[in-house]
Amino acid sequence: SAAEKGGYDYFMLKEIAEQPKAVADTLLGRIDANGSLTLDEVRIPASVLREVDKVVIVACGTAYHAGMIAKLAIEHWTRIPCETELASEFRYRDPILDQRTLVIAISQSGETMDTLMALRHAREQGARVLAVCNTNGSTIPRESDAVLYTHAGPEVAVASTKAFLTQLVACYLVALYLGQVRGTKWGDEIGAVIRELSEIAGAVDTVLETMEPVRALARSLADKDTVLFLGRHVGYPVALEGALKLKELAYMHAEGFAAGELKHGPIALIEEDLPVVVVVPSPRGRSVLHDKIVSNIQEIRARGARTIVIAEEGDEAVVPYADHLIRIPATPTLLQPLVATVPLQVFACELATARGNEVDQPRNLAKSVTVE
Ligand code: AGP
């Protein structure tokens, strides 16, 4: 009913709008007054976490994209090797797992069969499993050694939005917590990240307030066949997520690429007026990466692409090459997906509407996939 949708036309719109609160709720009570993490829910003893020599993340779809970003955060902040794998592929390759492996299973519903089978396999091999889940008491947390709940509240729309942002927050917390427990050099960076994380909900809100041009742009592209998405580092999973949203909602051909791979093939796809969304990393910190992506934008534009550039506030280098510029607040490098994904959600939702599609219930899809 309209009341359930809180005055929005679709659950998806409501859930997009709820993201600042979902992010804040997921942080609530988990950072103490001294800026340290208190994750008592992670019932795996610190002594076990100190011995972990490998982290493996398993998930599907949007949750897998969160896992790809989590890998970068975990490796950067803890220096523990981490791999992220599609849950549906995981057990079929006889993965190497033992008591010192920490497996993180990410799932909104907690009922995804592929993820459940992956975690069962991991436990059979002696690995510890930590679930990152949004649904209290669902099967995946019940079968895991521990769970860190995302506090997104119920997500009704098939397309995942607020669950994704809160999965990211939960994964950042796990990464920082692992660092804390293992006594990783508690440098300025980590303290600063925790502080910036506790303020990030406001940044998400700022993005939401500036989405009207993104909606107008989406409507103007309603009769296109293809949209490409490019990113690097954390921007690559964001590009994949933007493409997945567009496929499932707008039924358009959409693909995400790591921008550095363009020259190895995909650049052949670029043609006159093809919309290409580019997620640009912050110019501070990782300026080399930033400069490389700016040249990518130049290259595709020279070949006729219509460039839709998502870039941090104050990044002037992209201005000459952006046919459409979407600004996002400056954040630490690893946290950028929390703000960069939001315009892509809005973009896909609006394109679906413009194409007359059912936003909350896309064809052929179920909210939770309980078959392998
Ligand atoms: C996202 O928009 C999708 N509908 C889908 O990819 C989803 O993220 C995936 O099926 C995993 O679901 P889960 O988080 O409930 O395990």
Res. 223: pLDDT tops 60? yes
How close is the Cα of 120 to the center of ligand 1, in Å? 19
Contact between 148 and 130 (Cβ < 8 Å): yes
pLDDT band at residue 177 under the 50/70/90 scheme: very high
State how far the Cα of 204 lies from the Cα of 60, in Å rounded to an integer: 24
Residue 97: exposure state from Cβ atoms within 10 A (0-12, 13-18, ≥19): buried
Give the helix ranges, DSSP H, for 4-131. 11-17, 19-27, 46-51, 61-78, 87-90, 113-124
Q: Which of 5, 54, 247, 367 is labelled catalytic?
A: 367
Of 30-44, 57-71, 206-220, which range is least confident?
30-44
Task: Write the DSSP symbol of residue 93.
Answer: G
Beta-bridge partners for 55: 82, 102
pLDDT band at residue 162 under the 50/70/90 scheme: very high
Give the type of residue at 11: F
ipTM surpasses 0.85: yes
Enumerate residues lining ligand 1, CB below 6 A. Answer: 60-63, 107-109, 112, 115, 158-160, 248, 368-369
- Residue with the smallest CA separation from ligand 1 atom 9 is 61
Supply the pLDDT for residue 122.
Answer: 97
- Residue with the smallest CA separation from ligand 1 atom 7 is 61
Task: Indicate if 21 belongs to the active site.
Answer: no
Helix (H) or strand (E) holding 102: strand 101-107
Nearest to 130 by CA among 140, 121, 139, 138: 140
Residues 6+ apart with CB under 8 A from 194: 31, 35, 37, 176
- Residue with the smallest CA separation from ligand 1 atom 10 is 61
Mean pLDDT of the chain: 94
For residue range 190-202, list pLDDT tens digits in order.
788 888 999 999 9
For residue range 294-305, list pLDDT tens digits in order.
999 999 999 999
Contact between 228 and 356 (Cβ < 8 Å): no
State how far the Cα of 90 lies from the Cα of 57, in Å rounded to an integer: 10
Helix (H) or strand (E) holding 288: helix 287-302
Of 16-20, 77-81, 161-165, which range is least confident?
77-81
